[in-house]
Each structure stands twice: as structure tokens, then as C-alpha cells.
Amino acid sequence: MSSNETPRGPIDSSRIPRYAGPATFARLPRLDEVGTADVAVVGVPFDSGVSYRPGARFGGNAIREASRLLRPYNPAQDASPFALAQVADAGDIAANPFNINEAVETIEAAADDLLGTGARMMTLGGDHTIALPLLRSVAKKHGPVALLHFDAHLDTWDTYFGAEYTHGTPFRRAVEEGILDTEALSHVGTRGPLYGKQDLTDDEKMGFGIVTSADVYRRGADEVADQLRQRIGDRPLYISIDIDCLDPAHAPGTGTPEAGGMTSRELLEILRGLASCNLVSADVVEVAPAYDHAEITSVAASHTAYELTTIMSRQIAASRA
């Protein structure tokens, strides 16, 4: 949209109750209602790459439902993201649930189309397999990108049952394909048992730094965010958030929960500390609502997506000023 156009924001909750009407993200307009968007919120209902509990294919819509309670002004970032830039719900990318290779190609092509309109993507998963095609698409536009990967797990394993494309392998594939800037890669929130020490050795060789959930607890969100900002610099940044970076107390609705995770407060504060970074796109994945009592996970994921969307909207508005 041009600088003199006024973005179309969410439905007015003083006129239509939050529980009424279609559940777009944050009750924003659909992409087809506004024509073009600066930030496109898109779902990818795909979970054929999971290695344990399925159900993340329903995550995007669960996040949308939980996002009904989001409001237009974000006091933590002192911004009204939906007034600064046009944010719209782009619906879902439908991918073949029986053929992972074909699904990966479909997701990449659809992401190419969205990014080709000039939008940044805020993607709602789906399992973490989808990060690879999204990164491929983003790298076509920006070149190799910095990556912040919030997760309980490394997701840099080689294969599962001989399969190269799973939710535990996307970032190894991304490094192998040269679409990540290996000078600016970090995992955040990792914890729990591994297959062996070689997992860490291999991960380090790929260029990843690690901030464990224990590091976040001991050092605090502000110090961690400062460290991450220094590592990223002004590079184009992609943030990928597996909701299991949170402790199961804060995110029970996920496929591979691990004890000892971050709180939702810590995650949100770290993200807010990254507001000056050049965030070009992001995803929130692995929300599995079948295990999500009282929508705890979906609420955390909706607020996480809201903070990421706010960062992108602020940067878009600043670029037009």
C-alpha cells in the first residue's frame, strides 16, 4: 500500500462482540478484501512431518480463534500495528498431507507468490517442516538470512526413517542449501535429552549458537535479547518459533513437549527486545490444539504472532516516514 492510504484494521469490538463473526487473525480483514497487504498472516495446516504427536495441522485456526481477544494497541511496543501498516489474513496454504516432498514444493511456491506482492509473511503452522520452504522463499528475495530459532529442540538432525524433510530436519537442510547466513544463527530455549553429544557437535559446525532455556532463566530476557541483537546486526532476519520453546505449563498443546522451558513472559520480552532488528518474515508453529486445555498454548501463540507482527509493522511504517 502507498504511504497515503489508511490501513483497514480489525472489526470494531464495541459493535460486534469478539466471539461473533469469522475468525481471521486478530479479526483483521482477509487479503482478498484489501487487495494487497504489508504483512500477510497465512496458515499452513500441515503436520505430516511430525515424529510424535500429530495435530498441528489444526494449529493455525486455533491461533486465529485465540487471537479474537487481541486489541489494536500494543503498549509493550507503544504501537498500533494495524494502523501503521496493512495487515491481512491471507487464509491457508493447502499442501498434500500424503506427500511431504510435494507439500514442501507447494508451500514454497505459495510463499513466493505472497512475497512477490511485497508483503512480509507471518506464518501460522503447522509443524516445523514448513520452515524450510518458507526460508527458501525468503532467501530468494533477501539472500541468505539470519535465523533465530526458538525451540526446545535443535531441528538440525539429518533424517528420520530415511526421510530428509521432517519437523526435526529443516535447519540442517537450510544450511546445506546455503539459504542461511551462518554468521548469524541461534537456537533459543533448547533443553532436554539428545541422541548423543554428536548432535551438539554437528550443530556447532553448522554455525549455530545456543541459548538454552536455563540460560534465559539465569541471565534474564534483556541480556539474552542484547546478545541476540549483537549476533544478528542489521542482517535480514527470519524468526521461527516452535511453541514448545515454552514450558509445558505455558504450552501443553504441542507435539513434543519438554520440561524446563521458558515462560510465555520470557519469550514475549525477548521478542520485544528484538524490535530494532530487520525482521523480514516469521513463523509460529507446532500448536496442537487437541492437547491444549483451556487454550493456553493457542493464547500464547497468538500473542507471540502479535508481537512479531508489531515489529514488522513498525519497521514498514518507519521505512515510509
248 contacts 255 by C-beta, under 8 angstroms: no
Q: What is the largest CA-CA distance in the chain?
A: 58
Q: How far apart are CA 69 and CA 72, in angstroms?
A: 10
244 is in an annotated binding site: yes
128 is in an annotated binding site: yes
242 is in an annotated binding site: yes
- Beta strands per DSSP E along the chain: 39-44, 87-92, 120-125, 145-150, 180-190, 208-212, 236-242, 278-285
155 is in an annotated binding site: yes
| Radius of gyration for the alpha carbons in the chain, expressed in angstroms and rounded | 18
112 is in an annotated binding site: no
State the Cα torsion 211-63-18-39 to the nearest 10°.
80
Backbone angles phi, psi at 297, to 5 degrees: -65, -45
C-alpha cell at 277: 532488528
Q: Is 28 left (phi over 0), alpha (psi -120 to 50) or beta?
A: beta
234 is in an annotated binding site: no
Q: Which residues are CB-contacts of 145 (< 8 A; sequence separation ≥ 6)?
A: 135, 138, 139, 179, 180, 181, 235, 236, 237, 238, 280
Q: Which parts are annotated binding residues for Mn(2+)? A: 128, 151, 153, 155, 242, 244
Annotated binding site: 128, 151, 153, 155, 242, 244
